[in-house]
């Protein structure tokens, strides 16, 4: 009892002060990425430091069987805040991004693939688009100058094939829906995450279709990209699931009238 009496009482004013949210949240979905994640985090840290950007980094470990989470935690000292989010189960890339968006506190949310071939300096063009009034800014990959290797050709064919199927089933007006370089207003990212249902790779198409239905402003900016890697067997095996998810999205969009979706520009949750 004497010890309890000697402890200073907490200051109610200091306890009530919550930390200010960061200006930027960077969400990185990752699964079995222990070999590449460290280099990606180093590039990101150098860029943020050079621009003096206050950011939190959220690595979403989507059921990795390797040391992905340990690699992420080992780079925590490079950032103001680095958190590793582990969903209860490995639901897929869409589920990972959703978890990251819901955990993000930033005014802006950047989604970044571990193997993104787009240089970080391209972020400034997306940010400028948001400042001009866009709600979502997408970095469409341009591979015109990328070496014509076998891996690059396979990746281009896969990306264009999926884009064609997606545009046919769920027209969004976006050329590169699968790009891993997207910037979204934080409040809108969190609301779209709550509205989304798809856990797999078609998540990107779903949130863009929802954004179109709601009337959000989407800008697509062509950005230079390094040579893409060849698709993995796991990604190839996911193609049937992705097509099935696209059909689900089409059915949902057709039956769901705009009046049933919230007006994200007026919702008090987003103010």
The Cα–Cα gap between 177 and 98 comes to 16
- Residue 170, H or E segment: none
Tokens at residue 205, please?
């198409």
In a domain? residue 265: no
Residue numbers of the domain that contains 178 = 21-256
With tokens 């990185």, the residue in question is 28
In a domain? residue 12: no
Among 163, 264, 132, smallest CA distance to 210 is for 264
CATH of the domain at 141: 3.90.550.10
The Cα–Cα gap between 97 and 103 comes to 10
Q: What number is the average pLDDT over the span 11-32?
A: 77
Residue 160 pLDDT > 80, yes or no?
Answer: no
> What pLDDT does residue 228 have?
54
In a domain? residue 226: yes
Rounded to 10 degrees, the C-alpha dihedral 34/105/127/212 comes to: 100
| Cross-strand partners of 73 | none
Q: For residue range 37-93, what is the model confidence (pLDDT) as tens digits?
A: 999 999 999 999 999 998 999 999 998 999 999 999 999 999 999 999 998 776 789
In a domain? residue 10: no
Domain count along the chain: 1
Tokens at residue 148, please?
């014509």
């Amino acid at each position: 009892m004497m010890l309890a009496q000697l402890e200073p009482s907490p200051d109610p004013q200091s306890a009530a002060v919550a930390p200010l949210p960061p200006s930027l949240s960077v969400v990185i979905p990752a699964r079995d990425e222990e070999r590449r994640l460290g280099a990606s985090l180093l590039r990101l840290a150098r860029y943020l430091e050079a621009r003096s950007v206050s950011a939190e980094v959220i690595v979403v470990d989507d059921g990795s069987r390797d040391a992905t989470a340990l690699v992420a935690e080992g780079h925590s000292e490079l950032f103001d805040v680095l958190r590793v989010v582990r969903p209860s189960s490995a639901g897929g890339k869409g589920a990972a991004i959703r978890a990251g968006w819901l955990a993000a506190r930033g005014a802006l949310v950047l989604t970044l693939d571990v193997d993104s071939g787009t240089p970080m300096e391209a972020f400034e063009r997306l940010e400028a688009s948001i400042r001009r009034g866009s709600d979502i800014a997408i970095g469409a990959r341009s591979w015109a100058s990328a070496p014509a290797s076998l891996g690059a050709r396979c990746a281009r064919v896969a990306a264009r094939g999926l884009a064609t199927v997606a545009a046919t089933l769920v027209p969004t007006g976006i050329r590169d829906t699968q790009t891993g370089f997207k910037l979204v207003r934080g409040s809108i990212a969190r609301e779209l995450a709550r509205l989304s249902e798809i856990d797999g790779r078609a998540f990107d198409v779903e949130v863009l279709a929802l954004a179109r239905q709601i009337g959000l402003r989407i800008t697509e900016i062509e950005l230079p990209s390094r040579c893409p890697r060849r698709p993995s067997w796991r990604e190839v095996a996911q193609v049937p699931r992705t097509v099935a998810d696209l059909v689900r999205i089409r059915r949902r969009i057709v039956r769901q009238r705009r009046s049933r979706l919230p007006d994200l520009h007026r919702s008090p949750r987003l103010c």
